[in-house]
Amino acid sequence: MKISHAAERAGLPVKTVRYYADIGLVAPTDRSASGYRSYDQDAIQKLIFIRRARAFGFSITKCRELLGLYVDDSRSSADVKEIAKRRLAEIEEKQKELQYLHDELAHLITACRGDDRPDCPIISGLAQPA
């Protein structure tokens, strides 16, 4: 399967698939005589795996790690669970931050009359050193 077909199957842009090949994350199964990359079902499965893991916010480095576990039948599920749990904790941390930002910004917005006068609690709120 040529790259555009593989990319479509995996739900990724062609450029990204080529990029993943470049950085050695998912190598094409083969190359045609004219140099075209060729992907089989197994490689596409890996691409899908990466896409999903990326969507979960795993970095390329972590994806590499997970992919190693994915292809390695002898890995324990404890390893994977550990990585996933750390990632979950990161997500929860991010959620807390975002909630804080949300509340503070919402507060500033409600405090702002939004008329033509120049004094604005959002601007003055942002200028606080806190």
Partner DNA sequence: CCTTGACCTTCCAGTTACTGGAGAGCCTAT
Partner DNA sequence: ATAGGCTCTCCAGTAACTGGAAGGTCAAGG
Which residue's CB is nearer to a copy of itself, number 18 or number 121?
121
Secondary-structure percent of the chain, ordered helix, strand, coil, rounded to 5: 65, 5, 30
Q: Report how far residue 122's alpha carbon sits from residue 110's, in angstroms, rounded to the nearest whole number.
A: 9
User: Cβ of residue 98: shortest distance to a copy of itself, in angstroms?
Assistant: 5
Q: Which stretch binds DNA (CB under 7 A): 54-62, 76-84, 99-107, 111-119?
A: 54-62
Q: Which stretch binds a copy of itself (CB under 8 A): 15-23, 24-32, 33-41, 96-104?
A: 96-104
Residue for token pair 């507060």: 107
* Binding pattern for the stretch 57-86 against DNA, x by CB under 7 A and - elsewhere: --xxx-------------------------
Residue choice 4, 41, 99, 124 for contact with DNA (CB under 7 A): 4
Q: Are the beta carbons of 110 and 81 closer than 8 angstroms?
A: no
Please tell me whether residue 68 binds a copy of itself under the rule CB under 8 A: no
User: Cβ of residue 19: shortest distance to DNA, in angstroms?
Assistant: 4
- Which residue in 58, 45, 34 sits closest to 12, CA to CA? 45
Q: Report how far residue 66's alpha carbon sits from residue 58's, in angstroms, rounded to the nearest whole number.
A: 9
